[in-house]
Structure 1
Amino acid sequence: MHIHGATALVTGANRGLGRSFALELLRRGATVYATARRPELVDIPGVRPLRLDITDAAQVDAVAAAAGDVDLLINNAADTNGGNLITGDLRAIRSVMDTNFHGTLAMIRAFAPILARNGGGAILNVLSAAAWTTVDGNAAYAASKSAEWGLTNNVRMELAAQGTLVSALIPGLIGTQTLFDFAEQHGIEFGEGAVIDPADLVTVALDGLEADEVEIFDSLGRTAKQALSGPPISFPFAV
């Protein structure tokens, strides 16, 4: 996938990792649609802001209609606040799954024909090493990312014939305010070097896309994948 000259759409682009994606895509010469539930919060000169809640079918359809030149879809938007599965609020658990699984699927279904018309292109789904571990305090998020990993593997197979690259970005701990707030609430302290800066992760992700990699890792994500051959582990680990 060549980033320079591509037209990319990034979900959840008003802050954190999504904002870093938009900035780096622009730097590499892409045209960027930056979507968010509140597009007025997108503060990046040069992008094309669009309103998008990926759980709202009408908004997904409207964005697909407005962005018919896209050849790179980055599914970054996520709900991270589901809590544990036994004790958590069922509404929050459903919200996490609705966003991370069903919302991602809705975006892929809407943009798959657009990508086909534009030569195939690529999809990057932002997953998490939590997909392969247990996460005390936010098991619903981990379960949703497990489901999204399965989604990613299956749509890769389904879209292969149209020439669409489907990649998964599987990071460990991303240094966003969301992570730091969660750590503070649960008394978690991270060791030196355990947390990756969003800008550094985006560089890894886009380099991986340009190399046509189907799974792209940071160090903790790679460790989590390797650990799948052994007994289940809890996340965060080695921090």
Structure 2
Amino acid sequence: MKLLFPIAAGMAATVAASPAYAEAGDVLVRTRAILVAPTENSSGIKPAFPNDEVSVSNSFAPELDFTYFVADHIGLELILATTKHNINGKGGLDPIGELADTWVLPPTLTLQYHFAPKAKVRPYVGVGINYTHFYNEDASNGLENAIGHTNVNLDDSLGYAVQAGLDVDITPRVFLNFDIKYIDIDTKAKLTTGNLVNRVNVSLDPIVAGVGVGMRF
């Protein structure tokens, strides 16, 4: 019986010293706090405001992601989050301020390469595909006071994503995560006011920076 105590202690020490590394078949689940910062570029709002553009606000939100390791160095990550953004007028539309707001749902799948999957500090890079769905678009009171009741619709987007990140062990299963992505998102907004239809092309192309914690299963 006395022999069991040093054996158990040795096993516990080995487990405690083991890194939260990932290998083929493992699943990592992370939760992050993210900043979505559009680097937008807009056309004019045609035909009514051809010389005026729009900007899109930053947004903070929680994010959940899942990574499945198909090999020791190769993972597939799916991120899930939704954010709300204000669409603001620029140029001659500055006095109106906010023109509309929208919710954005951008599920993104990346193929990752993990440089040191068995180390305690594990950098990775990724490249993948993004599909962005815009929903609950709503014209602002300021816009409707200026031009009348307006329906707003934004086209969904399909684009690419690139990524870099770092996992850092806290315990054998739990780790810190730092992650940054660039996502290609292009949309066309349609603003319908009575018989008048205005359109504006917007490249949102956000940088998504996140920090959070994860667990290996």
Q: Same fold (TM over 0.5)?
A: no
Between Structure 1 and Structure 2, whose CA radius of gyration is higher? 2
TM-score range for the pair, normalised by the shorter chain length:
under 0.3
What TM-score does the superposition give when structure 2 sets the normalisation length? 0.27
Q: RCO (CA 8 Å, sep 6+): is it higher in 1 or 2?
A: 2
What TM-score does the superposition give when structure 1 sets the normalisation length? 0.25
**Structure richer in strand, relative to its length:** 2
